Amino acid sequence: MTAAVPAPGAPLRLRDRTFGPDHPVVMAVVNRTPDSFYAAARYADDAAADEAVARAADEGADMVDLGGVRAGRGPVVTVEEEIARVVPLVARVRARHPHLLVSVDTWRSEVARAAADEGADLVNDTWAGHDPGLVEVAAERGLGIVCSHTGGAEPRTDPFRVAYPAAGEDPLDGVVEDVVATVSAGAARAVALGIDPASVLVDPTHDFGKNTWHSLHLVRRTQALAALGHPVLMALSRKDFVGETLDLPPDERLEGTLAATSVAAWLGARVFRVHDVRSTRRTLDMVAAIRGDRAPAHAVRGLA
């Protein structure tokens, strides 16, 4: 008996562009920070960040995600400093790479508003609505929004013995239920404020408020997120759950990342936040072709 191919995830729509099943979306990470967990992704000055954006565009990125604050613990970064790191970069990307979509990774409404003024398309709120004004800024300025899940964790904190009530046949389904409830509520608020449902992304937010078992289970249960009817964002790249699963440091986690990426793409995820653009672009295009969503680029074997 042939197993059915999972249903494709919801399309993504930002600015004047719509991405369906034939075009998985690659979101390139460009951290304008000196202390990102992955050393190769630290772009501490303007020139390095500009070069990283240009390289991502050349390698097949559809979008860049610009961040000015390390997600984990570290030195305090004020709102003013975050704006200074990120907003001029938004302006340069918009001017130099008009085809690229621009996402800003922030949990602060002040930063989102300043970025919107320079042409940002998406607010990537990785801290699950900690600032309730963030989604309001997105709605007012016509931006997309990412609705995430942290299990109630505060910004820039690490999980410690986090647990979710057992649910369903698998005890780990408790984290799935919590994620679905949280991102569904966030998405509903965004839509009620007037944001296009196809511009509201849902992100299970691996590692944030979760242990490695939780994050692995969320990959295998991607369909539960895809069933919500919003485009699913997966930020899997070189994360700790990959490292702990394979016992590898960040700079050796590419293969594990691509394996998780393939599974999530097969199960309906639409957008992938990545450090390794070219490898991910090729992986996602291959998965889309296997699913039957995308035609081969050059198919002549046995025909010519």
Q: What is the per-residue pLDDT across 110-151, written as a single tens digit (0 to 9) for each?
A: 999 999 999 999 999 999 989 999 999 999 999 999 999 999
Range of the domain at 64: 22-291
Taking the model in full, what pTM does it have? 0.95
Q: Is residue 15 a part of any domain in this protein?
A: no
The per-residue pLDDT for 169 is 80
Q: Is residue 11 a part of any domain in this protein?
A: no
Q: Is residue 190 a part of any domain in this protein?
A: yes
What is the pLDDT confidence band of residue 72, given thresholds at 50, 70 and 90? confident
Q: Is residue 2 a part of any domain in this protein?
A: no
Among 32, 238, 273, 294, the one annotated catalytic: 273
CA distance linking residue 79 with residue 131, whole number of Å: 13
In the annotation, is 273 catalytic? yes
Residues whose CB is less than 8 angstroms from the CB of residue 26 and which lie 6 or more positions away in sequence, other chains included: 60, 61, 62, 63, 272, 274, 277, 280, 281, 284
Q: Is residue 299 a part of any domain in this protein?
A: no
In the annotation, is 32 catalytic? no
Q: Is residue 283 a part of any domain in this protein?
A: yes
- We report the CATH number of the domain holding residue 75 as 3.20.20.20
Total structural domains in the chain? 1
Question: Nearest 5°: phi and psi at 198?
Answer: -75, -5
Handedness of CA 77, 80, 81, 83 (dihedral sign): positive
pLDDT above 70 (res 2): no
Mean pLDDT (the chain) is 95
Q: Is residue 298 a part of any domain in this protein?
A: no
Among 108, 113, 239, 253, the one annotated catalytic: 239
Q: Is residue 5 a part of any domain in this protein?
A: no
The per-residue pLDDT for 42 is 80
The per-residue pLDDT for 1 is 54
* Residue matched to tokens 């997600």: 71
